[in-house]
Amino acid sequence: MSSTTASAATAGAPQTAGTAAAKKPLSPQGAKRRRQLAQWGFIAPAVIFMALFFGYPLVRNIVMSFQDYSPTTFFTGEAPFNGTDNWSNVFSDGLFGKALWQTILFTVGSLVGQFCIGLALAVFFTRRFPLNGILRSLILLPWLVPMVVSGIVWRRIFDQDTGVLNSFLGTIGLPGDTPWLTSTSMALVSVILVNIWIGIPFNMVILYGGLQEVPKELHEAAALDGASAWRTFRSVTLPMLKPVITVVLVLGFMSTVKILDLVLALTDGGPADSTQTLGTLTYQNSFVQMDFGAGAVVGNILILISAVFAVFYLRVNRNEGK
């Protein structure tokens, strides 16, 4: 309101005065409402988009998990409700428990590996040495390659007979015939290794950024007190880094728990389902067997796990904020 009058006063142009006069009959409340309505116009498209692409699927998945989908459903449009059949079918199938366990192994293994190596590299790069900046940015390159492509490149490297990894191991005198992706005992380990490789750059960048924020004076003070490098790191750096660590781990968890492309490119969930995770199981159920009901059940459980983690994360965050 005040700005309108001000502009009318300074400009003094007849039209400006005219619009100001035209707006006058509106009560202050009406004007406020109008302004708010116009402001909502900026936000509305995003809200609608997110409601359609995130809200709707969440609700729809719950409904779908109680419906009977079959390969013909999308021609006939018929997916009758079948109570809790999908749920009991999924739970009674041993594959679900297996996929759940493998998801846990995959997520925890990947997070621990990514985080530890990422942190070590971040600390390493806080030292000053020639070419530091260039090396640091080049390490990000693996991040640029689409995940499915990374998976395919590693699939080639891991090949038991013709892969470079085994031929390298053979050259240096180690057993060079490990069936990285083709044995049920090794495949999950191999997939985790690749995911660690993928996650290192991200962990490193964020943690490096966090380390830059830790005041140098604290380190100097600790050094003056005679603390060793390791002690300083544990008692000064790590506590200061805690908020950043939480962010890295949460983002890492969210991207790892639902991973699909990497597993499909490396092993397609095999051999003998030994790399099947909840993400791939959802995909298999829905898009390979066209049983969207079963897919929705597994998907809902995946959401539930994420939600539990989200609540936990928000709790931690709130406590820290106060």
Q: Which positions from 1 through 20 interact with other proteins, judged by CB under 8 A?
A: 3, 6-7, 10-11, 16
User: DSSP E strands: which ranges in 172-312?
Assistant: none
For the chain, give the number of residues: 322
Does residue 289 touch other proteins according to CB under 8 A? no
- Residue 122 Cβ, how far from other proteins at the closest point, in Å? 12
Does residue 116 touch other proteins according to CB under 8 A? no
Residue 315: name the closest of 230, 250, 238, 261 by CA.
250
Does residue 216 touch other proteins according to CB under 8 A? yes
One character per residue 255-274, x = contact with other proteins (rule: CB under 8 A): --xx-xx--xx---------
One character per residue 163-202, x = contact with other proteins (rule: CB under 8 A): -x--x-----------------------------x--xx-
Cis peptide before 271 (omega within 30 of 0): yes
**What span, in angstroms and rounded, lies between the C-alpha atoms of 121 and 136?**
9
Would you say 178 or 282 has its CB closer to other proteins? 282
Distance (Å) of CA 43 to CA 30, 31, 36, 49, 72:
20, 19, 11, 10, 40
Whether residue 202 contacts residue 118, with contact meaning beta carbons closer than 8 Å, is answered with yes
- Near other proteins in 118-147, by CB under 8 A: 121, 124-125, 127-132, 135, 137-142, 144-147
- Residue 88 Cβ, how far from other proteins at the closest point, in Å? 19
Would you say 120 or 227 has its CB closer to other proteins? 120
Whether residue 302 contacts residue 257, with contact meaning beta carbons closer than 8 Å, is answered with yes
The single residue listed with the structure tokens 């006063």 is 9
Does residue 149 touch other proteins according to CB under 8 A? yes
- Near other proteins in 87-106, by CB under 8 A: none
- Residue 132 Cβ, how far from other proteins at the closest point, in Å? 7
Does residue 113 touch other proteins according to CB under 8 A? no
Token pair, residue 40, equals: 């909502």
Token pair, residue 8, equals: 């009318």
